[in-house]
């Protein structure tokens, strides 16, 4: 037997799922800006499982990467994006609207100590930045990547690659504040199917 509170929560979840089914976005092209969950997102790529996007504006205030380390897996910023922002997106689009995707924590100097992880909401890597640079205009402030400059095996757990306002990659310490441009993959299911286009 369900309590009234449990029933209310279940009803809210079903309403969100129904709203997500009703609301379909037009299929975007690479480089286009789409608005999802009250934010503008730039489409970087069409992948098999969905659309790789980056926030075209900065998410909230400038933030620290972490208070003690340059490893994305354990960073405060990763936790914040994968809880608060993920919830905001899923509240609007429904569960399943974000694709869980692998992140490579390969350092600028070639260290693999931090390995890989998976996120729903993440930051761009330096390699991805280089790949999609032509789609990313300069901004008016510094912003984080998740790529460490080196790792603790080289006695360097402080420095992380950031993008400068002019688009250069520079090193910055994890405790400094920089802009945050989240990256995620929106599931193909939130976009109109080929049949819908006819």
Smallest CA-to-CA distance from 146 within 75, 54, 60, 41 is with 75
Average pLDDT over residues 108-113: 96
Bridge partners for 55 per DSSP: 41
Question: pLDDT tens, 61-102?
Answer: 999 999 999 999 999 999 999 999 999 999 999 999 999 999
pLDDT band for position 2 (50/70/90)? confident
179 secondary structure, DSSP code: B
- Cα–Cα dist 47/52, whole Å: 7
Question: pLDDT tens, 29-71?
Answer: 999 999 998 999 999 999 999 999 999 999 999 999 999 999 9
- Cα–Cα dist 187/47, whole Å: 10
Contact, 102 vs 118, CB < 8 A? Answer: yes
**Residue, of 6 and 184, whose pLDDT is higher:** 184
pLDDT band for position 3 (50/70/90)? confident
Contact, 144 vs 65, CB < 8 A? Answer: yes
Q: For the residues of 59-82, what is the DSSP string, one character each?
A: -SS-EES-SS---GGG-HHHHHII
Give the rounded percent of residues in the chain with a pLDDT score beyond 70: 91
Say what the pTM is.
0.84
Average pLDDT over residues 129-134: 98
pLDDT band for position 8 (50/70/90)? confident
- 3-state SS, residue 173: strand
The torsion of the CA quartet 144, 146, 147, 153, rounded to 10 degrees, works out to: 120
Average pLDDT over residues 139-157: 94
Measure CA of the first residue to CA of the last residue in the chain; give whole Å: 45
């Amino acid at each position: 037997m369900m309590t009234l509170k449990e029933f209310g929560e279940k009803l809210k979840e079903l309403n969100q799922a129904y709203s997500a089914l009703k609301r379909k976005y037009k299929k975007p092209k690479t480089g286009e800006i789409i608005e999802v969950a009250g934010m503008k997102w730039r489409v970087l790529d069409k992948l098999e499982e969905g659309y790789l996007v980056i926030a075209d504006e900065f998410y909230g205030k400038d933030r620290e990467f972490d208070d003690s380390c340059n490893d994305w897996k354990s960073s405060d910023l990763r936790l914040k994006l994968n809880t608060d922002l993920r919830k905001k997106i899923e509240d609007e689009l429904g569960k399943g609207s974000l694709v869980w995707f692998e992140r490579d924590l390969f350092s600028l100097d070639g260290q693999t100590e931090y390995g890989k992880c998976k996120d729903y909401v993440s930051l761009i890597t330096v390699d991805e930045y280089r790949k999609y640079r032509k789609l990313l205009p300069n901004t008016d402030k510094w912003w984080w990547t998740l790529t460490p400059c080196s790792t603790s095996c080289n006695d360097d757990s402080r420095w992380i690659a950031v993008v400068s306002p002019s688009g250069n990659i520079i090193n910055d310490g994890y405790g400094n504040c920089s802009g945050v441009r989240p990256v995620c993959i929106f599931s193909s299911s939130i976009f109109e199917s080929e049949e819908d286009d006819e």
